[in-house]
Amino acid sequence: MDKLKSNSKMPKFNDLNDRIIAEATTSPTLVIKTNLDTPNVEKENPYLNEEKEATRNFKNFFKD
């Protein structure tokens, strides 16, 4: 397949604005995994809306 034809429908990198390629935060971030974290990310998680079921992406985010 011709390289020019296969890439012609792809958006330019700078035009992407979805959640996968996000703007970097201006403030520093720190993520620490401790032995106090529950093995099940759906229990006692302040980031999970209890009315909705946890998605696979949500579970993978908190996975080791």
Q: Kindly tell me if the per-residue pLDDT of 4 is higher than 60.
A: no
Q: Kindly tell me if the per-residue pLDDT of 16 is higher than 80.
A: no
CA neighbor of 64 nearest in space, from 35, 33, 42: 33
Torsion of CA 32, 28, 45, 60, to 10 degrees: -70
> Which has the higher per-residue pLDDT, 46 or 3?
46
pLDDT at 35: 78
Delimit the domains of the chain by residue range.
Answer: 31-64
What's the pTM?
0.29
DSSP 15-37: G--SSSS-PPPSS-------TTS
The pLDDT tens digits of the residues spanning 21-53 come to 567 788 888 877 777 777 777 777 777 766 666
pLDDT at 18: 62
What is the separation of C-alpha 13 from the centre of its chain, rounded to a whole number of angstroms? 18
